[in-house]
Copies of this chain bind each other. A is one copy, B any other.
Amino acid sequence: MTFDATSAKKFLESYNPRDYPSIALTVDLVVFAVTDGVLNVALVRRGGHPFKDALALPGGFVGPEESAIQAAGRELAEETTLDLGRLPVHLEQLATYTSPDRDPRMRVVSVAHLALLASDGTSLPKIAAGSDAASAGWYPVHDVLRGKEMAFDHATILGDGLARLAGKMEYTTVAARLLPEEFTLTQLRTVYDAVWETTMAAGNFTRKMTPRLHDTGRKSRGGAGGAPAALFTATDLHIHPPLTKPQAPGSPVTPE
Protein backbone atom coordinates (compact mmCIF):
# COMPACT_ATOMS: atom_id res chain seq x y z
CA MET A 1 0.00 0.00 0.00
CA THR A 2 1.90 2.99 -1.27
CA PHE A 3 1.09 6.57 -0.48
CA ASP A 4 3.23 9.49 0.42
CA ALA A 5 3.01 12.09 3.13
CA THR A 6 1.85 14.76 0.70
CA SER A 7 -1.27 12.92 -0.34
CA ALA A 8 -2.06 11.99 3.22
CA LYS A 9 -1.80 15.62 4.17
CA LYS A 10 -4.01 16.62 1.27
CA PHE A 11 -6.58 14.06 2.36
CA LEU A 12 -6.58 15.36 5.89
CA GLU A 13 -7.08 18.83 4.51
CA SER A 14 -10.18 17.78 2.61
CA TYR A 15 -11.31 15.93 5.71
CA ASN A 16 -11.01 18.51 8.43
CA PRO A 17 -12.01 16.97 11.74
CA ARG A 18 -13.14 20.40 12.94
CA ASP A 19 -15.89 20.31 10.34
CA TYR A 20 -17.08 16.89 11.48
CA PRO A 21 -18.22 16.22 15.02
CA SER A 22 -16.82 13.15 16.70
CA ILE A 23 -18.58 10.02 15.50
CA ALA A 24 -19.20 6.97 17.67
CA LEU A 25 -19.33 3.72 15.73
CA THR A 26 -21.44 1.05 17.35
CA VAL A 27 -23.05 -2.26 16.55
CA ASP A 28 -26.60 -3.21 17.44
CA LEU A 29 -27.55 -6.86 17.53
CA VAL A 30 -30.78 -8.47 16.45
CA VAL A 31 -30.41 -11.89 18.06
CA PHE A 32 -33.10 -14.44 17.25
CA ALA A 33 -33.87 -17.85 18.72
CA VAL A 34 -36.95 -20.07 18.56
CA THR A 35 -38.69 -21.79 21.48
CA ASP A 36 -42.04 -23.49 21.61
CA GLY A 37 -42.91 -22.38 18.12
CA VAL A 38 -42.26 -18.71 18.86
CA LEU A 39 -39.53 -16.49 17.44
CA ASN A 40 -37.79 -14.61 20.24
CA VAL A 41 -35.38 -11.71 20.25
CA ALA A 42 -32.81 -10.86 22.90
CA LEU A 43 -33.51 -7.42 24.35
CA VAL A 44 -32.18 -5.39 27.23
CA ARG A 45 -34.09 -3.09 29.54
CA ARG A 46 -32.26 0.24 29.57
CA GLY A 47 -30.92 1.33 32.93
CA GLY A 48 -30.14 4.96 32.09
CA HIS A 49 -31.41 7.91 30.12
CA PRO A 50 -32.32 8.44 27.37
CA PHE A 51 -35.13 5.91 27.00
CA LYS A 52 -34.69 4.75 30.60
CA ASP A 53 -36.63 1.52 31.23
CA ALA A 54 -37.40 1.08 27.53
CA LEU A 55 -36.49 -2.08 25.64
CA ALA A 56 -33.44 -1.86 23.42
CA LEU A 57 -31.26 -4.05 21.27
CA PRO A 58 -27.98 -5.15 22.80
CA GLY A 59 -24.87 -3.63 21.30
CA GLY A 60 -21.64 -1.82 21.93
CA PHE A 61 -18.79 0.18 20.51
CA VAL A 62 -16.63 -0.96 17.65
CA GLY A 63 -13.04 -1.09 18.84
CA PRO A 64 -10.25 0.72 17.00
CA GLU A 65 -8.71 -2.47 15.68
CA GLU A 66 -11.80 -4.44 14.72
CA SER A 67 -14.38 -4.41 11.98
CA ALA A 68 -18.08 -4.07 12.69
CA ILE A 69 -18.74 -7.78 12.23
CA GLN A 70 -15.91 -8.62 14.60
CA ALA A 71 -17.35 -6.25 17.18
CA ALA A 72 -20.77 -7.85 16.71
CA GLY A 73 -19.30 -11.30 17.27
CA ARG A 74 -17.47 -10.12 20.37
CA GLU A 75 -20.55 -8.49 21.84
CA LEU A 76 -22.59 -11.57 21.09
CA ALA A 77 -20.06 -13.78 22.83
CA GLU A 78 -19.95 -11.50 25.86
CA GLU A 79 -23.70 -11.35 26.07
CA THR A 80 -24.47 -15.01 25.61
CA THR A 81 -21.27 -16.39 27.11
CA LEU A 82 -21.31 -18.81 24.20
CA ASP A 83 -18.20 -20.09 22.56
CA LEU A 84 -18.71 -18.64 19.12
CA GLY A 85 -15.64 -20.38 17.79
CA ARG A 86 -17.39 -23.71 18.19
CA LEU A 87 -21.06 -22.88 17.93
CA PRO A 88 -22.41 -22.54 14.41
CA VAL A 89 -23.91 -19.09 14.93
CA HIS A 90 -25.13 -17.25 11.88
CA LEU A 91 -24.01 -13.62 11.93
CA GLU A 92 -24.45 -11.15 9.10
CA GLN A 93 -24.61 -7.44 8.59
CA LEU A 94 -28.13 -6.09 8.41
CA ALA A 95 -28.04 -2.36 7.70
CA THR A 96 -26.53 0.84 9.02
CA TYR A 97 -28.50 3.55 10.75
CA THR A 98 -27.05 7.01 10.39
CA SER A 99 -29.73 9.57 11.14
CA PRO A 100 -27.90 12.50 12.80
CA ASP A 101 -30.36 12.71 15.68
CA ARG A 102 -31.02 9.05 16.33
CA ASP A 103 -29.15 9.38 19.62
CA PRO A 104 -29.65 12.69 21.45
CA ARG A 105 -26.25 12.55 23.13
CA MET A 106 -23.97 12.57 20.12
CA ARG A 107 -23.64 11.27 16.59
CA VAL A 108 -23.86 7.51 16.83
CA VAL A 109 -23.62 5.49 13.65
CA SER A 110 -24.81 1.98 14.26
CA VAL A 111 -24.14 -1.02 12.06
CA ALA A 112 -26.92 -3.46 12.88
CA HIS A 113 -26.27 -7.19 12.63
CA LEU A 114 -28.51 -10.20 12.51
CA ALA A 115 -27.57 -13.21 14.65
CA LEU A 116 -29.29 -16.59 14.71
CA LEU A 117 -28.72 -18.83 17.71
CA ALA A 118 -29.25 -22.56 17.56
CA SER A 119 -31.86 -23.86 19.95
CA ASP A 120 -33.46 -27.26 20.49
CA GLY A 121 -36.81 -25.51 20.55
CA THR A 122 -37.55 -25.95 24.25
CA SER A 123 -34.98 -23.73 25.97
CA LEU A 124 -33.13 -20.56 25.14
CA PRO A 125 -29.49 -19.64 25.69
CA LYS A 126 -28.81 -17.63 28.82
CA ILE A 127 -28.07 -14.00 28.16
CA ALA A 128 -26.43 -11.46 30.42
CA ALA A 129 -27.12 -7.74 30.72
CA GLY A 130 -24.44 -5.42 29.35
CA SER A 131 -23.01 -2.25 30.81
CA ASP A 132 -25.83 0.16 30.03
CA ALA A 133 -28.61 -2.36 30.64
CA ALA A 134 -30.52 -3.16 33.80
CA SER A 135 -31.61 -6.59 32.65
CA ALA A 136 -31.65 -8.79 29.58
CA GLY A 137 -34.09 -11.39 28.37
CA TRP A 138 -35.94 -13.03 25.51
CA TYR A 139 -39.09 -11.48 24.07
CA PRO A 140 -41.51 -12.76 21.41
CA VAL A 141 -40.63 -10.83 18.26
CA HIS A 142 -44.10 -10.42 16.81
CA ASP A 143 -45.53 -9.24 20.12
CA VAL A 144 -42.75 -6.70 20.57
CA LEU A 145 -43.26 -5.35 17.06
CA ARG A 146 -46.99 -5.01 17.52
CA GLY A 147 -46.36 -3.11 20.77
CA LYS A 148 -43.60 -1.02 19.20
CA GLU A 149 -42.28 0.64 22.34
CA MET A 150 -38.53 0.55 21.97
CA ALA A 151 -35.60 2.86 22.57
CA PHE A 152 -34.03 4.94 19.77
CA ASP A 153 -34.85 3.55 16.29
CA HIS A 154 -34.57 -0.02 17.54
CA ALA A 155 -38.12 -0.93 16.57
CA THR A 156 -37.21 -0.13 12.98
CA ILE A 157 -34.02 -2.17 13.21
CA LEU A 158 -35.86 -5.12 14.70
CA GLY A 159 -38.46 -4.93 11.94
CA ASP A 160 -35.74 -4.83 9.32
CA GLY A 161 -34.06 -7.82 10.95
CA LEU A 162 -37.25 -9.84 10.89
CA ALA A 163 -37.88 -8.91 7.26
CA ARG A 164 -34.35 -10.00 6.34
CA LEU A 165 -34.75 -13.35 8.05
CA ALA A 166 -38.23 -13.97 6.67
CA GLY A 167 -37.10 -13.09 3.16
CA LYS A 168 -33.93 -15.13 3.23
CA MET A 169 -35.81 -18.20 4.40
CA GLU A 170 -37.62 -18.22 1.08
CA TYR A 171 -34.56 -19.03 -0.94
CA THR A 172 -31.97 -20.42 1.48
CA THR A 173 -31.80 -22.98 4.26
CA VAL A 174 -30.80 -20.30 6.76
CA ALA A 175 -33.71 -21.32 9.01
CA ALA A 176 -31.64 -24.35 9.97
CA ARG A 177 -29.23 -22.00 11.77
CA LEU A 178 -31.93 -21.61 14.42
CA LEU A 179 -31.76 -25.35 15.13
CA PRO A 180 -29.13 -27.79 16.38
CA GLU A 181 -26.76 -29.14 13.80
CA GLU A 182 -28.99 -32.19 13.28
CA PHE A 183 -32.71 -31.57 13.09
CA THR A 184 -35.92 -33.10 11.81
CA LEU A 185 -38.14 -31.71 9.10
CA THR A 186 -40.81 -31.01 11.70
CA GLN A 187 -38.38 -28.89 13.70
CA LEU A 188 -37.47 -26.96 10.57
CA ARG A 189 -41.11 -26.51 9.68
CA THR A 190 -41.72 -25.15 13.17
CA VAL A 191 -39.13 -22.46 12.51
CA TYR A 192 -40.87 -21.43 9.31
CA ASP A 193 -44.21 -21.32 11.11
CA ALA A 194 -42.72 -19.22 13.92
CA VAL A 195 -41.02 -16.66 11.68
CA TRP A 196 -43.70 -16.40 9.01
CA GLU A 197 -46.63 -16.75 11.41
CA THR A 198 -48.15 -19.35 9.13
CA THR A 199 -48.88 -23.05 9.16
CA MET A 200 -47.06 -24.90 6.44
CA ALA A 201 -48.56 -28.15 5.17
CA ALA A 202 -46.30 -30.88 6.55
CA GLY A 203 -46.38 -33.23 3.59
CA ASN A 204 -45.62 -30.67 0.93
CA PHE A 205 -42.94 -29.07 3.11
CA THR A 206 -41.15 -32.41 3.32
CA ARG A 207 -41.29 -32.90 -0.42
CA LYS A 208 -39.91 -29.42 -1.14
CA MET A 209 -37.19 -29.27 1.51
CA THR A 210 -35.77 -32.79 1.44
CA PRO A 211 -33.66 -32.37 -1.72
CA ARG A 212 -32.04 -29.27 -0.17
CA LEU A 213 -30.90 -31.06 3.00
CA HIS A 214 -28.45 -33.80 3.80
CA ASP A 215 -29.92 -36.96 5.31
CA THR A 216 -27.65 -38.23 8.07
CA GLY A 217 -29.32 -41.65 7.98
CA ARG A 218 -29.97 -41.38 11.72
CA LYS A 219 -33.40 -41.13 13.29
CA SER A 220 -34.67 -39.04 16.17
CA ARG A 221 -36.17 -40.80 19.15
CA GLY A 222 -39.89 -40.35 18.86
CA GLY A 223 -40.52 -38.05 21.79
CA ALA A 224 -44.27 -38.07 22.28
CA GLY A 225 -45.56 -40.97 20.27
CA GLY A 226 -45.26 -41.24 16.55
CA ALA A 227 -42.69 -42.49 14.14
CA PRO A 228 -39.07 -41.41 14.59
CA ALA A 229 -38.15 -38.68 12.14
CA ALA A 230 -35.07 -38.61 9.96
CA LEU A 231 -32.27 -36.31 11.09
CA PHE A 232 -30.92 -33.87 8.54
CA THR A 233 -28.10 -31.38 8.40
CA ALA A 234 -28.26 -28.18 6.40
CA THR A 235 -26.47 -27.57 3.16
CA ASP A 236 -25.57 -24.18 1.80
CA LEU A 237 -27.74 -24.75 -1.23
CA HIS A 238 -30.17 -22.21 -2.47
CA ILE A 239 -33.81 -23.15 -2.77
CA HIS A 240 -34.67 -22.69 -6.39
CA PRO A 241 -37.36 -21.83 -7.18
CA PRO A 242 -37.96 -20.31 -3.76
CA LEU A 243 -40.28 -21.59 -1.12
CA THR A 244 -43.22 -19.24 -1.33
CA LYS A 245 -44.53 -17.61 1.77
CA PRO A 246 -48.30 -17.93 1.49
CA GLN A 247 -49.73 -14.68 0.12
CA ALA A 248 -51.40 -12.62 2.80
CA PRO A 249 -55.04 -12.31 1.80
CA GLY A 250 -55.69 -8.81 0.50
CA SER A 251 -52.26 -8.31 -1.05
CA PRO A 252 -53.04 -8.21 -4.75
CA VAL A 253 -50.78 -9.77 -7.33
CA THR A 254 -52.23 -7.88 -10.25
CA PRO A 255 -52.34 -4.08 -10.36
CA GLU A 256 -55.50 -2.00 -10.18
Choose the segment among A102-110, A187-195, A199-207, A223-231 that binds chain B (4+ C-beta atoms closer than 8 Å).
Answer: A102-110
The residue from B109, B240, B254 contacting A109, defined by CB atoms under 8 A apart: B109
A20 engages B64 (CB within 8 Å):
yes
B65 engages A100 (CB within 8 Å):
yes
Q: In chain A between 6 and 45, which residues have their CB closer than 8 angstroms to a CB of chain B? A: 7-8, 10-12, 14-15, 17, 19-25
What band does the interface of chain A fall in when counting residues whose beta carbon is under 8 Å from B? 35 or more
Q: In chain A between 92 and 127, which residues have their CB closer than 8 angstroms to a CB of chain B? A: 93, 95-96, 98-100, 104-107, 109, 111
The residue from B25, B65, B131 contacting A14, defined by CB atoms under 8 A apart: B131
For A50, list chain B residues within 8 Å (CB): 1-3, 7
Nearest to A17 among chain B residues (CB) is B22
Task: Known contacts A237-B253, A240-B247, A244-B241; decide if A107 and B14 are in contact (CB<8 Å).
Answer: no
For A64, list chain B residues within 8 Å (CB): 19-21, 100, 107
A-B contacts, 17 of them at CB < 8 A, read A1-B104, A2-B49, A3-B50, A3-B104, A12-B106, A14-B132, A15-B61, A15-B106, A19-B64, A23-B23, A64-B107, A95-B96, A212-B253, A212-B255, A213-B255, A241-B241, A241-B242
Contacts A3-B105, A69-B98 given; 15 further ones with Cβ under 8 A? Answer: A11-B48, A11-B106, A11-B132, A14-B131, A19-B64, A67-B100, A95-B96, A98-B111, A214-B256, A235-B255, A237-B252, A237-B253, A240-B247, A240-B253, A241-B242
